[in-house]
Structure 1
């Protein structure tokens, strides 16, 4: 789970969220691993991944590779930079739940020199909130759905994906109305 969550910070196609949700379901349905351990390990992986992106932004910048110079990516970096200056905590917490936004915000935070102690403190709290949320989705589903660990894991992952798709749809709709997308 740690490796998936860590990798998810750099490659949004890696199923870090699903892994945390699945382990949250296992924690309740089978008793192992402990739910607190799932949250702690997921938090550590998320924070380490976010800090890795922050350091990448600090050392590499926002224009080194071709994908970084694409207009939509540059627009995302610009959006993140403007908001990070005014509301660091709000932007980091929000981005933690949106895959590409998380990458853009963490790279931009490093490139725009958000002070490291402030960044790590806020990113750590955001990672903890995210890890608890993902693990608790699995735990709640496992406590409600009968059928043992396998059913709990499958149903909790499907529920988590459904929640993610619903949030993405709401954000896209809001973005179309406000001209952000």
Structure 2
């Protein structure tokens, strides 16, 4: 495999952008893995430039999420059958309930979890979250996501600087494992937040009934 030719190809960055945009709808596309691998390749060979990979990945993330948001605004959350079954349906229901109350938290955390990413963006559009509120959050989340994944890849690439093929191959399982760990961590934090919210909103038990009021009999006027 000629990694030098691949890394120097003018198609690398357009393919990266397309993968990240497509991953907003198709969770089978390994956009995180590709970003990490390109980060490792960039750090070990110098091409493509890390300063190019980060903005391209971030732009793809924002464009993909924005398209998903606009679809949610136009068609809602139950137009298609895939929205009404399985994990996507459960994620959509959770996002629909909380998207206004926790918009920033959901947009940032969902960027790292494929199914949640689709659900949150669709729910934000369908729920009428204003674009002027949603777009800055999506932009910040996309930049943070790109920096995180490229940074992981760059660390691996620096560790195997003279072996770009090894660096690229090592980066793939590392990206998958980290993705699973982040998925589990966010799910645990979400469950914890839901339990706290449930405890906070639980009705306060009514006070125990006291003894009946004592009734004073009327005085005898005889």
TM-score w.r.t. structure 2 length? Answer: 0.74
Confirm whether residue 138 of structure 1 aligns to residue 190 of structure 2. Answer: no
Q: Does structure 2 retain, via aligned residues, the 8 Å contact 1:2–1:45? A: yes
Q: How does 1:23-38 map to 2 (within 5 A)?
A: 23-38=38-53
Identify the range of structure 1 (104-113 vs 158-167) with the bigger mean alpha-carbon deviation.
158-167
Q: Judging changes above 3 Å, is the alpha-carbon distance between structure 1 residues 117 and 96 closer, same or farther for their aligned structure 2 residues?
A: same
Provide the residue aligned with 1:20 in structure 2: 35
2:174 counterpart (156, 159, 177): 159
Residues 93-142 of structure 1, C-alpha deviation per residue, up to 9 Å, x if partnerless?
00000000000000000000110111111001000000110111100011
Provide the residue aligned with 2:116 in structure 1: 101
Provide the residue aligned with 2:19 in structure 1: 4
Provide the residue aligned with 1:44 in structure 2: 59
Larger C-alpha radius of gyration, 1 or 2? 2
Confirm whether residue 59 of structure 1 aligns to residue 74 of structure 2. Answer: yes
Q: Judging changes above 3 Å, is the alpha-carbon distance between structure 1 residues 117 and 40 closer, same or farther for their aligned structure 2 residues?
A: same
Q: Does structure 2 retain, via aligned residues, the 8 Å contact 1:20–1:135? A: yes
Contiguous gaps of at least 5 residues in structure 1: none
Identify the range of structure 1 (81-90 vs 128-137) with the bigger mean alpha-carbon deviation.
81-90
Q: Does structure 2 retain, via aligned residues, the 8 Å contact 1:138–1:157? A: no
**What CA RMSD, in Å, does the superposition of the two structures yield over aligned residues?**
2.1
Q: Judging changes above 3 Å, is the alpha-carbon distance between structure 1 residues 169 and 95 closer, same or farther for their aligned structure 2 residues?
A: closer
Contiguous gaps of at least 5 residues in structure 2: 1-15, 196-222
Q: Distance in 1 between matches of 2:107 and 2:100?
A: 11
The size of the alignment, in residue pairs, is 180
Q: Distance in 2 between matches of 1:89 and 1:30?
A: 37
- After the TM superposition, list the runs of 4 or more consecutive aligned residues in structure 1 that deviate by more than 6 angstroms: 173-180
